[in-house]
Chains A and B, each alone.
Chain A
Amino acid sequence: MTKTTKLITAALLLYTVAYAQPVDVYGYFEPQYNGIYSGDSYYQFQSNKLRVDLKSTAIANTEFGADVIFLLYHGKTDWDILDFLPAELTSTIPPLLRPFYSFRFEDTLYLDNVYARFALNRFAVTAGKQQISLGTGYFANPTDIFNTKDALDPTYEQPGHNAIRVDLQALPRLNLMALYSPVESDFESSGKMLRAKLGIGHFDISLLGCETQYTSTDFYTFEQTQERRHILGGDIVGELIGMGIWAEGIYNFFEDTEDGYEFLIGTDYTFDSGLYTMLEYHHNSLAKSDHEDYDLNDWMRFFTGETKTITSDQVYALLQYPLTDMLTIGSSAVLSVSDMSAAIIPMLQYSLFQNIELTLVGNIYIGEEGTAYSSSLGNGGFVRASVYF
C-alpha cells in the first residue's frame, strides 16, 4: 500500500466515522519564520504547518483519535550539513559522497497519530500511532528512547510512534505500564518496555526496563549496523527544602558494543515575584568529553537523532518571568561543560488573541569551531504564530 493510499484509506475511515458518530475537529495553524546567520551569509526559511485533529468518544469507554499534519516549506530549503562542520572533518570526504550530506525540507502530508484507546476506570489500552512521553527532565529525557528534544524548544510536541500500550492503575498512586512497539518486522526485534510508577509522599518514582533494537550508521560509508539494547532505568520527581527536584537515568546494555549510561538531575524554584528558575545537569557517557575527538560520525549521529548529545556533560538553565498576564519573557542557556561552548536562547511568548499565541526564540551560539555550540553552527532564531481552532 503506498503512502498516498494509506492516507486516503485513513481519511475515508475517518470520514465514515465522522458520518456515523460525532467527531471533534480541532487543531492549529502555525506559520514560522526562521533566520540564521552563518558565516557572512543570512539565510531564511519559513514553514507553514497545519495540524488537524479528529477525536471521537461516541462509543462508551473508547476514544478514536488521529491527526494529519500538512507542512509547506519556503525559502532556503536545501541545506548541506557539511557547511556547518569543521573543515578538517569535511575535507576528507570524497566529492562523490558529498551530496549524501545534503538534505531538503520537502512539503509533507502525513498521519502523525492514529490510535484507538479503550479505558475503564483503572485500565487503558492504546493501540496505534501515538505520542509517548517519558521522564521527568525538561531539557532532555534519558528514559525516553522514542524522542529527542530540541534544546531551542524542548516542550514542543513530539511525533507519534507505533505502539500498543497498556496502563493499569494497581493502587491510587501505583501505575503499571507495558508497551510494545512493533517497529521491526518480527516480535524479537521490536521494542518492549515495562514501567512501574509509584507515589510516595511528595515524590513520584518510576522504574523501567526496556528492550529495543539500536541502529547505528557509519556516516563515512553509510552502512548501518543493528544490535540489541537492554535498558534499566528510572526517574524521580518531588521536592526538598521547598525546591522542586527531579532525576532520571538509564543504563544501556548493548549486545555488541560498549555499555553506557545517561542521567539528568534538575531543580526548580518560583520566587514570590513570579520569576521561575530551573537548573539541570545532563551526562551521557556515550558522548565524548573532548571536542577534539568529535568525528564526522558523532556530528551526523547527533544531527540525525541517532544519539541524543554530542557532548558528554551539559548544564541547562532556564529563567521565565510573567511580565504581564499576556506576556512571558525568559531565557535559557546550555553550557557544554566538556568543551566550554554555550548556547543562549532568549524567548518571548505573547497571547496575541484568545486563540493566537506568538513565540519568539533566539539562539546565540558561543563556542570555538568544532565545539558542541560552535558559533559556526549559525546564530538566529524563529518567530512562530500558533493559531488554534
Chain B
Amino acid sequence: MILLHVSLAAILPSGQLTAQEEMTADEILKTLTETMNPEQSHGTMTMTIVTSSGQERTFKYETFSKDKGDKSLMKYLEPQRVKGQTILMLNDANDIWTYFPRTKRVRKLATHAKKQKVEGSDFSYEDMGASDAFIEEYNALRLNDENKEGRSCYKIELTRKAESNASYSRVMLWIDKENFIPLVVDYYHEDDPELHEKQLVCHDVELIEDIYTPMDCTMFNKLDNTYTKMHIVDITYQVDLADDLFTEMGMQR
C-alpha cells in the first residue's frame, strides 16, 4: 500500500485531459495501482522513527521488488542490531517470511502479522506490501477534486468491502492529477471509520528512469503522536532480478 513509484508511461497525454477529467474512481485507482508498482526495482532506503518524545531510530535497508510488487524483499543494512534481518513478502504480502541471521532461523508469519509494526515503526507489514490492496479490499468513490500540497488532486474515498480483512475501515486518497502519485493518504481505524489513525504524506517527487518517484514519504500516527520518515537513498528500475532472490535461500544470501 505504500505508493512510491509511478510510471511515466501511465500518465495520459495532455490531449486526453477531458478523458482524464471524466475518469471514474475505479479507473483512477486502477491506473494508480497499475503504475505505482514498476515491473522491477532495486534500491536503498532509510526509515526514521520519531517518537512523541522526539527520540529517533534510523534503519537503512536494501529493497528488491519484482512482478509489480507481487514479490518484494527487504534486507536491513543498519543499525548493527538488525543488520542482515530480511523480510520476504510474496503474493501481495499475503505470505511473509522473516530471516534472523543471529539465529539462522526463517519464520513464516501468518496474515494477521501484517498488522504488526515493522521494527516498531508507524508502518505495518500491510502498509509496506499489498500492492493491489486498494482495488482488492475496498470500494472506491470519486469525490470533488481538491488541491493538496499545492497540486491539483483527485480525491478518492475507499470503503472496506464487507468480506475484506484489511486493517483500515476507510481510506482517503489525494492523487496528483499529473503523475498519479498519491500525495496524501488518510487511514481510518478498523472499527471506527471516523477515527483518523494514520496519514501518509509523499513529497520530493523526482523523475528517475522515466518513472516519477516520491523520494520522501512520512507516515504520521495520529493516535500515538509519532511519525516515521521514509527516504529513498538510491533506486533503479532497470534491473533484471532473478526469481531465486525471492525465496528462502535468497533471503539468506
Q: Which of chain A's residues have a CB closer than 8 A to the CB of B103?
A: 131, 133, 155, 157-158
Q: A239-B110, A325-B226 are in contact. Are A272 and B167 (CB under 8 A)?
A: yes
Does B248 reach chain A (CB closer than 8 Å)?
yes
Query: In which size bucket is the chain B interface?
Result: 35 or more
Does A322 reach chain B (CB closer than 8 Å)?
yes
CB closest chain-B residue, reference A134 = B105
B120 lies within 8 A of A244 (CB): no
- Among A130, A172, A270, contact of B115 (Cβ-Cβ < 8 Å): A270
Q: Which of chain B's residues have a CB closer than 8 A to the CB of A225?
A: none
Closest CB-CB distance, B65 to chain A, in whole Å? 17
Does B151 reach chain A (CB closer than 8 Å)?
no
A270 lies within 8 A of B108 (CB): no
Q: Which of chain A's residues have a CB closer than 8 A to the CB of B57?
A: 325-326, 351, 354
B113 lies within 8 A of A270 (CB): yes
A272 lies within 8 A of B191 (CB): yes
Given A121-B242, A157-B103, 18 new contacts (CB under 8 A): A169-B248, A169-B249, A197-B248, A202-B95, A238-B108, A244-B109, A244-B110, A244-B112, A269-B110, A272-B191, A322-B120, A324-B226, A325-B120, A351-B120, A354-B57, A355-B80, A357-B81, A386-B81
CB closest chain-B residue, reference A63 = B253
The digit string for B101-130, where 1 denotes a CB below 8 A from any CB of A, is 011110011111101110011100000000
Does B224 reach chain A (CB closer than 8 Å)?
yes
Does A101 reach chain B (CB closer than 8 Å)?
no
B80 lies within 8 A of A204 (CB): no
Does B31 reach chain A (CB closer than 8 Å)?
no
Q: Which of chain A's residues have a CB closer than 8 A to the CB of B80?
A: 26, 28, 355, 388-389
A242 lies within 8 A of B111 (CB): yes
Does A98 reach chain B (CB closer than 8 Å)?
no
Listed residue (A28, A124, A130, A157) with the most chain B CB atoms within 10 angstroms of its CB: A157
A197 vs B57: C-alpha distance in the bound complex, in angstroms?
37
Closest CB-CB distance, A15 to chain B, in whole Å? 22
A122 vs B55: C-alpha distance in the bound complex, in angstroms?
42
Q: Which of chain B's residues have a CB closer than 8 A to the CB of A357?
A: 81
A48 vs B55: C-alpha distance in the bound complex, in angstroms?
28
Does A6 reach chain B (CB closer than 8 Å)?
no
Closest CB-CB distance, B66 to chain A, in whole Å? 12
Does A132 reach chain B (CB closer than 8 Å)?
yes
Q: A244-B113, A272-B167 are in contact. Are A354 and B79 (CB under 8 A)?
A: yes
Does A111 reach chain B (CB closer than 8 Å)?
no
The digit string for B227-253, where 1 denotes a CB below 8 A from any CB of A, is 000000000000000111001110011
A326 lies within 8 A of B244 (CB): no
The digit string for A175-194, where 1 denotes a CB below 8 A from any CB of B, is 10000000000000000000
CB closest chain-A residue, reference B113 = A270
A388 lies within 8 A of B190 (CB): no
Closest CB-CB distance, A384 to chain B, in whole Å? 14
CB closest chain-B residue, reference A65 = B101
Does B203 reach chain A (CB closer than 8 Å)?
no
The digit string for B149-170, where 1 denotes a CB below 8 A from any CB of A, is 0000000000000000101000
B110 lies within 8 A of A388 (CB): no
Closest CB-CB distance, A125 to chain B, in whole Å? 12
Q: Which of chain A's residues have a CB closer than 8 A to the CB of B83?
A: 26
A200 vs B242: C-alpha distance in the bound complex, in angstroms?
21
Closest CB-CB distance, A28 to chain B, in whole Å? 8
Q: Which of chain B's residues have a CB closer than 8 A to the CB of A388?
A: 79-81
Q: Which of chain A's residues have a CB closer than 8 A to the CB of B243?
A: 172
Does A167 reach chain B (CB closer than 8 Å)?
yes
Does A173 reach chain B (CB closer than 8 Å)?
yes
Q: Which of chain A's residues have a CB closer than 8 A to the CB of B94?
A: 202
Find residues 180-217 in chain B having any chain A CB closer than 8 Å to their own CB.
190-191
A136 vs B49: C-alpha distance in the bound complex, in angstroms?
31
Does A274 reach chain B (CB closer than 8 Å)?
yes
Closest CB-CB distance, B243 to chain A, in whole Å? 6
A325 vs B112: C-alpha distance in the bound complex, in angstroms?
19
Listed residue (A155, A157, A274, A325) with the most chain B CB atoms within 10 angstroms of its CB: A325
B112 lies within 8 A of A243 (CB): yes
Listed residue (B80, B121, B242) with the most chain A CB atoms within 10 angstroms of its CB: B80
- Among A28, A167, A276, A386, contact of B249 (Cβ-Cβ < 8 Å): A167
A133 vs B107: C-alpha distance in the bound complex, in angstroms?
11
Does B58 reach chain A (CB closer than 8 Å)?
yes
Does B139 reach chain A (CB closer than 8 Å)?
no
Does B51 reach chain A (CB closer than 8 Å)?
yes
8 pairs across A/B with beta carbons < 8 Å? A121-B244, A158-B103, A237-B108, A242-B110, A242-B112, A326-B120, A354-B57, A354-B79
Q: Which of chain A's residues have a CB closer than 8 A to the CB of B252?
A: 124
The digit string for A196-219, where 1 denotes a CB below 8 A from any CB of B, is 010000101000000000000000
CB closest chain-B residue, reference A121 = B244
Does A268 reach chain B (CB closer than 8 Å)?
yes
Q: Which of chain B's residues have a CB closer than 8 A to the CB of A242?
A: 110-112, 165
Q: Which of chain B's residues have a CB closer than 8 A to the CB of A337?
A: none
